[in-house]
Amino acid sequence: MSSEPGRRFGLSGVTPWGRRAFEYEAFFDLSADTLSGTVLDCGAGPSSFSAEMTQRGVKATALDPIYGSAVSTLRADLARAEERIRVAFAAEHDRFVWDFYGDTERLLTTRRQAAETFFSDFPLGQSLGRYICGELPELPFGTSRFDLALCSHLLFLYDHELDLKFHLEALSEMTRVAAEVRVFPLISLGRVNTKGCACATVPGWNSRKLSTSG
């Protein structure tokens, strides 16, 4: 698949880019009821969602392949990603809707806050099994292990890197391990602008109905 959208933003591959709990709550329309059970964050990266939810008493697990890397490596990767994305935002500013964050600097500050909360929690959380090194489309969990699975800024967004087969397998796998799946956003990096992006909620989806047709 073409990597043109990624090149336009100065990015190569899936970029580690953490987000905070209040962003997840807005993205996925989360409430106390939806967070009352077990929650899996797929492709969580350096997000602070799991750390913040744990502080609130929510049973949250984060999964990402980067959890197999040393913290020093993760910090260096994040620093490089931030610089590339800062340049990209300056060049592509008009492609984004800034109602939620206000401006680029506030967004980047939020990213740094998420990362620092993640790094503070990571050693203990990993030892307790809250941070799992793994990746879609094969999850290291039993069937119906979670009440809710979330996937933020991975599926659809990187459709120039991840093909249709990957998406079908990833969605099937999430619905295998969780009673409900929510994905955000439903856009790609190649979209003209981000206004009107949405969250998909999939309660009790029967993965056997997924196919490449239609």
Domain ranges for the chain? 4-209
Can you tell me the distance from the alpha carbon of 164 to that of 96, in angstroms, rounded to the nearest whole number?
25
Mean pLDDT check: name the lowest of 42-46, 164-168, 196-200, 201-205. 196-200
Contacts of 136 (CB under 8 A, 6+ apart): 42, 43, 151, 154, 155, 166, 169, 170, 173, 174
- CATH code for 4-209? 3.40.50
Residues 6+ apart with CB under 8 A from 170: 42, 136, 137, 151, 155, 162
CB under 8 Å to 117, separation ≥6 — which residues? 20, 48, 51, 52
Please report the pLDDT score of residue 64 as a whole number.
96
The set of residues, in sequence order, having a beta carbon less than 8 Å from that of 53 and lying 6+ positions away, is 21, 35, 39, 60
Mean pLDDT for the stretch of residues 118-136: 97
- Angle (CA) 44-97-151 rounded to 5° is 20
- Cα–Cα dist 180/145, whole Å: 11
Among 82-96, 142-156, 165-179, which is the least confidently predicted range?
82-96
Structure-token match 């602070």, residue found: 48
Tell me the two tokens of residue 50. Answer: 């799991």
Helical pair 71-92 and 104-127, crossing angle rounded to 10 deg: 160
- Average pLDDT in the 127-142 region? 97
Least confident of 8-17, 44-53, 109-118, 182-191: 8-17
* Model confidence band, residue 199 (pLDDT cutoffs 50, 70, 90): low
Residue-level pLDDT at 83: 85
User: Could you give the percent of the chain with pLDDT greater than 90?
Assistant: 56
At 174, the pLDDT band (50, 70, 90 cuts) reads very high
Q: Which residue has the tokens 């109905």?
A: 209
